[in-house]
Structure 1
Amino acid sequence: MKIQKLTIENRAKVYALLQCAFPRSNYEAELVRKLHANGRPLHEWVCLHSNKVIAYIAFSNAYHGRDICGLHLAPMAVTPEFQKQGVGTELLRFALRQEAIKGQPLFVLGEPNYYRKFGFEPCSQPICPFDINNAHFLSMGNIVATSFVVGYEPEFVPVIAPAAPHGKKHRHGKHS
């Protein structure tokens, strides 16, 4: 298994991975495709096994108004045949050690029990526009004390999620 920055050559493999990892949704694959097409700044890594992309993680800018106030972790995905084998854990731990990521305030909309293992904590400020009461919004290195709605790149748009099986999450970096 090898972790490396995403290359242009591997983008199509990432879109296919996202479609496979989130089979009931085109949202994640289309989101990343649009972020790439629109030239949004992203920090992205893939995990390769036998030259196949088996996991992906991305961080995009978080905004307070027009100012960057940190990074959003979203999406993160592992191909189904490699889930529950520690691949996502290894990829996230790798990403959190990278210069572009460490020391930055980080935000994730995801499963609290999963992301707490990495140091993310429940976050009451800023307010996540995609999560009622910030119930699944977590942060790391966040020192925000004022109330504001955190901004995302415009490609992140609210969607109505299809009914998911118990325990499965399907939006903005939620672990599946």
Structure 2
Amino acid sequence: MKIRKLTEENRAKVYALLRRAFPRSTYEADLVEAFHKNATPIHEWVCIHTNKVIAYIAFSHAYHGNEICGLHLAPMAVAPEFQKQGVGSELLKFALRQAAIKSQPLFVLGEPRFYKRFGFEPCSTPICPFDKNNAHFLSLHDTTAEKFMIGYEAEFKTTGKPSKAGGKKRR
């Protein structure tokens, strides 16, 4: 298994992976396609095994008003046949060590039990517009004390609604 930056030639493989990992939704694949189409700056890596993309992770800007205040981890996906084998954990650990990521406040809307293993903690500030009571909103390196509604890249709002079921929801 190799982890590397996403290249343009692997984009179609990532879209297909996202559709397989989230079978009841096209939101995640549509979101990443919109990022690419709009040339939105994101940090993204893939796991490749026998020339197949088996996992993907992306980070996009988080906003306090018009100012960048960190990064959102979203989406993250592992091919169904490789889930529960540590692939997603290895990809996340790798990403968290990268210079562009490790010094930033990070935010994720996802399963607390999974993300707490990597140092993420429940986040009361800022407030996530997609999560009632911030029940699944976590952060890492967040020192924010001020209450505000965290902002996302426009693609999060212009893409269809996120899936409620199916696939591993690790946003």
TM-score (normalised: structure 2) = 0.95
Aligned CA distance change for structure 1 residues 160 and 18 (closer, same or farther; 3 Å): closer
CA distance in 2, matches of 1:109, 1:154: 17
Aligned residue for 1:156?
A: 156
- Of structures 1 and 2, the one with the larger relative CO (CA 8 A, separation 6+) is 2
SS of equivalent residue, structure 1 residue 85:
coil
The percent identity for this pair of structures is 70
Kindly indicate whether the alpha-carbon contact (under 8 Å) linking 2:56 and 2:77 is maintained by their aligned counterparts in 1. yes
- 2:132 maps to 1:118: no
CA distance in 2, matches of 1:101, 1:85: 24
Aligned residue for 1:38?
A: 38
Which residues in structure 2 correspond to 1:10-25 (within 5 Å)? 10-25=10-25
SS of equivalent residue, structure 2 residue 100:
coil
Kindly indicate whether the alpha-carbon contact (under 8 Å) linking 1:109 and 1:138 is maintained by their aligned counterparts in 2. yes
Which residues in structure 2 correspond to 1:20-169 (within 5 Å)? 20-157=20-157, 159=161, 161-162=163-164, 164=165
SS of equivalent residue, structure 1 residue 75:
strand
| Deviation of 1:159 (Å) | 2.1
The Cα RMSD (Å) is 1.3
CA distance in 2, matches of 1:70, 1:7: 24
| Deviation of 1:160 (Å) | 6.3
Q: Which runs of 4+ in 1 moved over 4 A?
A: none
TM-score (normalised: structure 1) = 0.93
Aligned CA distance change for structure 1 residues 160 and 101 (closer, same or farther; 3 Å): closer
Q: Where do 5+ consecutive residues of structure 1 fail to align? A: none
| Deviation of 1:169 (Å) | 5.1
Q: Where do 5+ consecutive residues of structure 2 fail to align? A: none
| Deviation of 1:161 (Å) | 3.8
